[in-house]
Amino acid sequence: FYHHHLDSAGVASGCELPPGPSGIPFFGNLFQVPVLRPYPKFRDWAKQYGSIYHLRLGPQDMIVLNTAEAADELFVNRSKNYSSRSPPHVAHDIMSAGQRQVFLPYDKEWKATRRSLQAAIGPGPSKRLRPLQELESRVLLHDLLMHGDKGLRDLAEGPNGEVPEDHWFSLIRRYTTSVVLIVMYGKRANKVINNHQLHKIYAVLANFTKVGQPGNYLADVFPILRKLPDFLAPWRVEARQMHEWEMELWGGFLHDLKSEMSAGCIPNDSYVSTYLKARSDAGHANAPGCGLTPDGWLKDKLLAYTAATVLEAGSDTTASTMQSFVLFMLSHPHVLERARAEVDRVVGEERMPGWEDEPRMPYLVACIKETLRRRPPTIMGIPHRAEEDDVYDGYFIPRGSTVVGNVWAIHMDPTRFPNPTAFQPERFLTKDQNVRWGSGPDQDRDHYVFGWGRRFCQGTYIAEASLFIVLSRLIWALDFELPRHPKTGVPILPDIADEETFSDGFVSVPRIFRVGFRARGEGRRRIVEKAFEDAQVEWGMRGMEGDVR
């Protein structure tokens, strides 16, 4: 039962599976993998077994790649074989009706979604988004300024780790969610408090990361259970209900836009509106259901879940990087001071930074890259799948294996990044070289947060533009204040070396922490306030909703 693969090609090729911890009969290593916080264990195994190891989760083979060389060789050089996914059965096949873009197998549906998205978030189109990101960044700065001392209050997370809506984290998340909402639907998130749509987006996202957690359902691990009838498979009934609940949101966005268009409104430019127009011109004004039309157009559910993937992939990942950045800056005041000195030197006091300043801010860019390296949001990437038997470094990789690019182990590899737990932006400063993000997809890379090969994150241009504009402006405009211990007066800040500072789940993000915000002087305060007021006029001229506070 266990060595069925070896019986065939593995033994035939004379190769063994990669080394790995020995498991128990039937379940393999299933119970050795900590469900909620797997990456520390996956890194310990990397230290023990080296660049590649093997686990078995029930009948499923898992291959874990722990060096950049191994991951580049398989995911990039052999991308034809390693560009598919092995999605969690309950979260993908049932809850997402098999339509969530990020989990689609490497086939014509995925190709159609990827191609269509490229026209909205690829390198050229993402440049056209910049004026809107710029406006949203003004709103965020203003929000943080208005938040002021309120950031020092001690708020509690919700029962499932939810961020309270009046915590400063929510202000950052409004920005990142609004940006992806604009690209996908041409609409903004124009308020934070009592914004039911935002609440629902985060609830769906949190539920998805929970339900999709490897090891969450036995039916994910043991395909045989999928044959059980409904009355013996409560998880299936539950997941179908979750699908309806998700479709109220994702299908609701699509439905609203369609209604506006058919009522004759001219919608703002967006991925979905452009797609619907083109699809309608091709004779598919209506295309309900899943998958593709015979001539290759995305039908409604696939379209809704493709837009949903962008909303999900772009919000928390980008927001948490900004939150981690603040945490790292406050834990390393000398770094903050140097980054600020650079920003001040380049732009002065009279105006805010903009993208045109980026080439002259190598240290700030290095700080952002070091944030991504030291704390990658998708900390073990998103697993790929081997479609055919393969051999790497003398080891056999069975077809159907789930293949993990262990981003955390790669980023913590001391041969690649000396003193890996230290936060040292200097490691990315190369003398006399132009500023470069070095995030891939080519192999000359500084970090691996965006994955590999044909499945490489499609949103990097938008993500990096957001990180630059928000973080350069943040340290230009605002000073930070930490709460102090009532007796000792010592500033309170979570310890970056403590795992508990970050959430569990496969997107591991900082837990909420307290910071107060203050303008760095009257002049800068006035610039932020004016920029916010001007933004309101611009929203109006663009036919978009202004901010409600």
Query: Which spans of this chain sit near ligand HEM (rule: CB under 6 A)?
Result: 101-102, 114, 117, 121, 180, 309-310, 313-314, 317-318, 321, 377-378, 381-382, 449-452, 455-459, 462-463
* DSSP-assigned letter for residue 446: S
C-alpha 169 chain-centroid distance: 16
Handedness of CA 277, 278, 283, 289 (dihedral sign): negative
Minimum CB separation from ligand HEM for residue 376, in Å? 6
Query: What is the C-alpha separation between 299 and 490, in angstroms, rounded?
Result: 58
- For ligand HEM, the closer CB: 37 or 114: 114
Query: What is the C-alpha separation between 209 and 191, in angstroms, rounded?
Result: 25
- For ligand HEM, the closer CB: 328 or 450: 450
Minimum CB separation from ligand HEM for residue 454, in Å? 7
Minimum CB separation from ligand HEM for residue 117, in Å? 6
Handedness of CA 6, 10, 16, 22 (dihedral sign): negative
Minimum CB separation from ligand HEM for residue 404, in Å? 10
- For ligand HEM, the closer CB: 313 or 478: 313
Minimum CB separation from ligand HEM for residue 443, in Å? 14
- For ligand HEM, the closer CB: 51 or 309: 309
SS (HEC) of 112-175: HHHHHHHHHHCHHHHHHHHHHHHHHHHHHHHHHHHHHHHHHCCCCCCCCCCCCCCCHHHHHHHH
**Residue bearing tokens 């995030």:** 439
- For ligand HEM, the closer CB: 170 or 320: 320
| Structure-token pair, residue 299 | 């039908």
Question: Rg of the chain over CA atoms, in angstroms?
Answer: 24
Number of separate helices (H) and strands (E) present in the chain: 17, 8
290 appears as a binding residue in the annotation = no
- For ligand HEM, the closer CB: 102 or 512: 102
Minimum CB separation from ligand HEM for residue 285, in Å? 26
Say whether 327 sits in a helix, a strand or coil: helix
Query: What is the C-alpha separation between 8 and 406, in angstroms, rounded?
Result: 28
Q: Which residue is nearest to ligand HEM (CB)?
A: 459
- For ligand HEM, the closer CB: 119 or 224: 119
Query: What is the C-alpha separation between 437 and 365, in angstroms, rounded?
Result: 7
Minimum CB separation from ligand HEM for residue 361, in Å? 18
| 402 contacts 58 by C-beta, under 8 angstroms | no
* Binding site as annotated, residues for heme: 457
* Binding site as annotated, residues: 457
